[in-house]
Structure 1
Amino acid sequence: MSRRGRGSTGPGRPAAMPVGAYTPAAPVQQGADGTLVVAFCGDDGRSRSFDVSRLPLPGWHQVLAAAFAARTGPAGGLRTLSAAGTGWGSLVRLMRFLDSLPEPPTTPGELTPAHVAAFHTHRAATAPATARQDLTRARLLFSLPELRQHVSPQVIDYLQRRLPAPRTSPPLAAGTRAACPPPAGGTRRLTTGYTDGELARLLAALRADAARIRDRIRAGEDLLRRYQTDPLALDDRERTVGRMLEQMAVTGKVPVPPGARPNPFAPERLQLAGRLFLTLRDLPPLMLLAAALSERNGETIKELPIAHRLLEGRAVDLVIVKRRRGARRWLETVTWEIGAPGRELHTPGGLYLLLLELTARSRRLRGSPSPLLWCVWRNGYAAGLKVADDHCAPFEQSLRGTPILPSAWAANRPRPLLADPQPGDCASQGPGEGLPLQVSFNRIKTSMEVRRTKRMGGHLPSAAKSNTIPVLFRNYLSGDPVITAWAEEVLGEALVDAEQAARRAHERAAQVQGGGPRVLPGPSGATALKEAGVAPSSARQVADGGLDTGWSACVDHDHHPLTGQSCEVSFLGCFHCGNCLITRDHLPRLLGLVDALAQRRRELPQEQWWQRYGSAWAAIRHDILTRFTPAELEQAQAHKPHDATLDLVENPWETP
């Protein structure tokens, strides 16, 4: 190539091509000793070789190698080392099961639907938690052209069938949580988020431990700086420690402090290493705090990069990994706030820059550079390296290479974290007693998703940050006791507001229409009505039902209190009118109307129901039925009609 830069191409001038032909490496490599290896190089920078020749049933090897290479290749769906390893594990289990059959299929063409069904039955009996996933991965592998053309169509049709849904335990009641250990021993793993008290205590503990780690390393750096500037200004003890710190900063090796046992595993040596370097025991609080502040899962926190950009000293911009989004869709650019000086433990950007500071020395002393943030000192003998010191990137080769054990960190603190007592715990808890708090990245992620959703007022499009709306609701919000209790509280407040608004609407309507309906409890005969103040000319008609409307009586239909003219409002408007008269005889029909309104409430949106029926319902419930005794209401309930004729007072197009 001789032409470079802008302007080197154009119409009639094609792009310069490299000299020579490019021959990519074969995805399946055949060794001289008969081995058949699939070379994997993932988008996460990790690589591995999968030896297909070690599987049983040699007649499958060539076809399986081609199919697995396509599944893990650049256009495949398994583009990370963990995903490829999981797919390989399912393939190994399938082949070993087929080999264990009395008459195994020696070639792909001999595979039958009965073999696949037997594999699923075997996995469901031995490992029900992963049986469905194994069959799903087999279906994706057999759907590839490299393998599909070698098996019978009946097998493909069987694999394409809908898989049976896994059995799940019944959901917990709202506001409760599984807190009792299973009878066989051990504790039940929780997946719901934390309560407000648990989350507050957890965040306080994480910040306290992170501050202790920060202050410890900064104190060591300050002592090293003072020793290198003027060692004579230090006392004997500080001068001795400063000399060892200078040796550690140059070589990366931690000496055995004076007076300690000459043993690489001496605790004094680990304590000295922590004065300049992060250690493995520092990872849980720092990683958990990063997950809480950034509201990301543990996988993303483990793969935080060191490449970043500072935006005017106010934010940090970096590219993070969000797995399980599909091929070529799991990189995302985020911008994290840095915050004010001294507040680095409260903002994601500030904590990220602090972690870069705390891991800087180990990254410089490490033999080969790593693009990942996390780099710590560890005892090489404990890692089986036959050396005393090792500066490693614990998640460079695998996300599962270094266990974090968050629950062990929470339980082994000087002040252990305890869970809130729950109603219905198996054993009574005395003062100061409680179950250990189960800490995990998933629970922290769920808790932060719940809190963000609450801050957004429950608006899921605004609350969906790192997941889609269906994933946010299904995997984080649905069934969580905190969000359930909050939703019930919000719904209860909304219902109270709607009911109060309906009562105010009824009171305003009644004020301009003669003061509202007249309710006459007690006897409803003509004499009793006259004694209650009803005009003699109307008392007899009311007693005989001659003035009845839909659910009440109207003493002056020709003169509406508001207009002075003949009434033209709906029968539901009678409950705000001064001409409305209600006696004990109207109770059965009123109770039937209340039931009809309740049924209509289940059929219409809440906003529409309150707008159409709210004021009438409030008048009946609060101003009319409360005037009668419980005995009168009970007697009327026994004579309540089944049809409240509610449809007769509405326009046909308004009926749901």
Structure 2
Amino acid sequence: MTRTGRGSTRYGRPAAQPAGDYEPPPSIRYQPGGGVTVAFHGDDDRRREFVFSRLPLPGWHELLAAAFAERVGPNGTLRTLTSARNCWEAVGRLMRFLHEHRPSPPATPQELTLADVKAFYWHRAAKNVYLGHVDLRDARGVLLTGHLGTLMAPQVVDFLQQRLPGRNHLGGEPGYSDGELTRLVSAARADVAAIRDRIKAGEDLVVRYRQDPDAVVAADRELAVTLTAIADTGAVPDMPGWGANRLPQRIVLASHLLLTFRDLPPVLVLLAAVTGRNGETLKELPAAHRVLDGRAVELQVIKRRRGPRRWFDTVTWEIGPPSRQLHTPGGLYLLLLDLTARSRAICGSPHLFCAWGNRHRDGQHSTPEHSAVFSTTLHGRDLALSKWAANRPDPVLADPTPTPARPSGEEPAAAPVPAPLKVSFNRIKTSVDVRRTKQLGGHLPSAARSNTMPVLFNNYLRNDPTMLDWAHEVMADAVSEAERAALDAHNRALSAAGGALRVVAGPAEADRLEQAGLDPQTARQAADGQLDTAWTGCVDHDHHPATGATCSSSFLDCFHCGNCLVTSDHLPKLLSLLDALNTCRLRMSEADWWHRYGSTWAAITRDILTKFSPQELEQAGHRKSADVLLDLVEAPWEQP
């Protein structure tokens, strides 16, 4: 396989191939002493060897190793070190539990019983239901894989294949309120600006000293000499003495030129806020990128939870003007690239987050201090985001808890003391997703960027209080607007057909109807019910107010006609009609319902029922029956 370069292959001359057959290294390795191990190499390029001889019940080891290797192998679904380690720990807890919980533990998979599996679940769920759910989920993934799944009793397999008990999935953590998010992002932006200005001042001092040492003022000359040496070698000198201030002083010295571990919390919080990406993706941002016409940055990010072989995604982040460097994802990314450049050059990592950490303790200089913070594991460095927010000179506080109302005469309760804000990447991402969804008017296909629409709704939007308040406001505004439109349509139709309804409250007697403007004969007919239609009465069916001809309109149009007469005798039927309209609302879309029945509903609720007393409406409610006339007055093809 020596042919290389252009022209080494062409039509009729295939590419060079290695001689012999390729055999990948086995994932299962048998040790000389009889133990078995599984070698893991994940898609995140992290490695580990899992030793099964450390577990009890040797009769399980070889079968467990084969199933585990299939789960975490190249074709498995657990392709990160974190997921493989979580599965390994769940299997280990299961084996230790089976070994200890009864006098004669199951020595082989064939001896495992349903009672053993249930006992393990309830043992873990006794502390936390979520722990029982997760451990049983991870363990069953191995138990049901490969040949191991065929050896267990059928009732055990059936139980493991069922939906896991005990976990009520209600979505992710709620996001922050508008005030909390504003305070959090402002604090992070202020701290990142201070970090940027601090390192820029140190760089400027080194440049001035190299150009003309005598131009540097005497008070800064010693610091300039030290920083120049750090810039040349990357090594931060030890501070003299062994006092308690020695290590903090060394960190302060390094921070003049280098991004330190203490700087990571505000940097990552601000990056999460401006990008809307989760913490795992941000920790693994690469240094490799491409600048597009000076306007945007293109880079490849990792979204682990998309599933195997679907991790990588190309994103384009706006850079913006220099004054917006801390407000745009591309501008902030390029800034962090500069702040971490010195540490990256020394440790040689391709990752963005390379920083300096004080690891020379008690004179020990063997551990390198420049490193890619999250190269080994994403959880290897405790960022303590909440601790950063609470220990700032101006702490980031949560919204105060509302004070419950007290009866009159009691002294008002003392104002609650605001607590420090609990900061997490999940809550930041939820807050950003909520704000973007609101800006896009709730249109999920446009709002879903790093997640699918179901994931965005179920895990980020569904239970967020800010999102629920906004949705309620939108629905209330939409219903109010629909009601106004329906009432306007009713008033326009009524103006064209007589101008006003004839609504007579109180007993439907002839003399009261005469006082309402009806002639004596019509009043007597109305009082006797001779003029009743489906739900109301009609005082002149032969002469429609708009046409002067015999009326041929639908009975639903009676509510927009000047000949319409409504008395207290009609109230039971009107209330029954409202129930029927509400039933139709459940069977058809909101838009169709408002278009077909909105004006009728508005006429009844706004122009008729308001003329009667609550006592009359209550009495009519006791006399109403199921309305069947609505199905009769409409053509069958028009029914919803």
TM-score range, shorter chain: over 0.9
CA 1:623–1:286: 2 relative to 1, 3 Å: same
CA distance in 1, matches of 2:362, 2:529: 95
Q: Deviation of residue 15 (structure 1)?
A: 3.6
TM-aligned CA deviation for residue 293 of structure 1: 0.8
Alignment of 1:474-485 (within 5 A): 474-485=458-469
1:416 matches 2:395: yes
Counterpart-to-counterpart distance in 2, 1:617 and 1:501 = 12
> Structure 1: 5+ residue runs without aligned partners?
172-189
Q: Secondary structure at the match of 1:324?
A: helix
How far, CA to CA, are the matches of 2:462 and 2:80 in structure 1? 29
Deviation at 1:230, TM superposition (A): 0.6
Distance in 1 (CA, whole Å) between partners of 2:210 and 2:251 is: 23
Deviations 1:23-78 (Å, cap 9, x if unpaired)? 32221222334442211111111111111111112222222222222221111111
Instruction: Indicate the residue corresponding to 2:46 in structure 1.
Output: 46
AA matched with 2:359? G
- Kept after mapping to 1: 8 A contact 2:579/2:627: no
Contact 2:400 2:416 survives alignment (8 Å): no
Worse overlay, 125-134 or 480-489:
125-134
| Equivalent residue, structure 2, for 1:296 | 277
CA 1:117/1:312 → structure 2, altered by over 3 Å: closer, same or farther? Answer: same
2 CA distance for matches of 1:88 and 1:216?
44
Corresponding residue for residue 271 of structure 1? 252
Question: Which of 492, 499, 518 in structure 1 is aligned with 2:483?
Answer: 499
Q: Secondary structure at the match of 2:222?
A: helix
Question: Contact conserved, 1:407 with 1:440, CA < 8 A, in 2?
Answer: yes
Greater shift in the superposed pair: 1-10 or 84-93: 1-10
Alignment partners' CA distance in 2, 1:384 and 1:519: 97
Partner of 2:23: 23
The residue that corresponds to 2:114 in the other structure is 113
Query: Mapping of 1:117-156 within 5 angstroms?
Result: 117-156=118-157
Q: 1:358 aligns with which of 336, 339, 345?
A: 339
Cα distance change on mapping 1:324 and 1:388 into 2, 3 Å: closer
In structure 2, give the amino acid aligned to 1:592: S
Q: Structure 2 CA distance, aligned partners of 1:254 and 1:6?
A: 47
- Distance, in Å, in 1 between the alignment partners of 2:15 and 2:404 is 72
Q: Secondary structure, in 3 states, of the residue corresponding to 2:305?
A: coil
1:237 alignment partner, one of 182, 196, 219: 219
- CA drift of 1:152 comes to 4.5
Contact 1:417/1:437 (<8 A) preserved = yes
1:447-481 CA-to-partner distances (Å, cap 9, x unmatched) read 01111111121111221111111111111111111
Change (3 A) 1:432 1:95: closer
Partner residue of 2:303? 322
Distance across 2 between alignment mates of 1:54 and 1:66: 16
Kindly indicate whether the alpha-carbon contact (under 8 Å) linking 2:86 and 2:138 is maintained by their aligned counterparts in 1. no
How far apart are the structure 1 equivalents of 2:356 and 2:12? 58
Count of aligned pairs between the two proteins: 634
| Alignment correspondent of 1:58 | 58
Distance 1:332 1:144 in 2: 30
1:457 equivalent in structure 2: 441
Q: TM-score, normalised by structure 1?
A: 0.91
Whether the 8 Å CA contact 1:256–1:268 is kept in 2: the answer is no
- Provide the TM-score with structure 2 as the length reference: 0.93
Residue 370 of structure 2 corresponds to residue 391 of structure 1: yes
2:527 counterpart of 1:546: no
Partner of 2:293: 312
1:612 aligns with 2:596: yes
The answer to which of 370-379 and 437-446 deviates more is 370-379
Name the residue aligned to 2:409: none
Aligned residue identity for 1:375 = C
Counterpart in 1 of 2:86?
Answer: 86
- With over 3 angstroms needed to count, the CA separation of the structure-2 counterparts of 1:595 and 1:210, relative to structure 1, is same
The correspondence for 2:327, drawn from 341, 346, 354, is 346
Task: Tell me the residue number matched to 1:183.
Answer: none
Query: For residues 342-380 of structure 1, what are the alpha-carbon distances to aligned partners after superposition, in whole Å with 9 as ceiling and x for unaligned?
Result: 2111011111111110001111222xx222111111111
Q: Distance in 2 between matches of 1:539 and 1:149?
A: 87
* Change beyond 3 A, Cα 1:149–1:14: farther
- 1:181 aligned residue: none
Provide the residue aligned with 1:532 in structure 2: 516
- Is 1:570 matched up with 2:554? yes
1:460-513: CA deviation from partner (whole Å, max 9, x where unpaired) = 122111111111111111111101000000000000000000011011111111
Q: Which amino acid aligns with 2:133?
A: R
Amino acid at match of 1:117: K
Please state how far the C-alpha of 1:264 moved relative to its aligned partner.
8.1
The whole-number CA distance in structure 2 between the counterparts of 1:254 and 1:620 is 82
Q: 2:472 aligns with which of 474, 488, 504?
A: 488
1:198 touches 1:419 (CA, 8 Å); kept in 2? yes
Deviation at 1:596, TM superposition (A): 2.9
**Which residue identity is paired with 1:219?**
A
Question: Which residue does 2:205 correspond to in 1?
Answer: 223
Distance in 1 (alpha carbons) for counterparts of 2:363 and 2:578: 77
What are the superposed Cα offsets for residues 252-304 of structure 1, whole Å, 9 maximum, x if unpaired?
Answer: 2223568x877783422211111001111100000011111110111111111
| Separation in structure 1 between the aligned mates of residue 622 and residue 155 of structure 2, nearest angstrom | 64
Residues of 2 paired with 1:652 and 1:440: CA distance? 57
Whole-Å separation in 1 of the counterparts to 2:151 and 2:630? 68
Structure-2 residue corresponding to 1:255: 237
User: Hey, what's the Cα distance between the residues in 1 that align with 2:151 and 2:623?
Assistant: 75
Alpha carbons 2:206, 2:224 under 8 Å: kept: yes
RMSD: 2.6
User: Aligned partners of 2:255 and 2:424: how far apart in 1?
Assistant: 25
Shift of 1:113: 3.0
Relative distance call for 1:161 and 1:607 in structure 2 (3 A) is same
Say which SS state the counterpart of residue 129 (structure 1) adopts: helix
* Cα displacement string for residues 370-416 of structure 1 (whole angstroms, at most 9, x for unaligned residues): 22111111111359965587112221111111100111011101111
* 2:194 alignment partner in structure 1: 212
1:371 match: 350
What fraction of aligned residue pairs are identical, expressed as a percent?
56
For residue 397 of structure 2, what is the amino acid of its counterpart?
Answer: L
Contact 1:559 1:565 in 2 (8 A): yes
Residue 163 of structure 2: SS of its match in structure 1?
Answer: coil
Instruction: Return the letter of the residue paired with 2:187.
Output: A
Contact preservation (8 Å) 1:589, 1:644: no
User: How many angstroms apart in 2 are the aligned matches of 1:455 and 1:22?
Assistant: 55
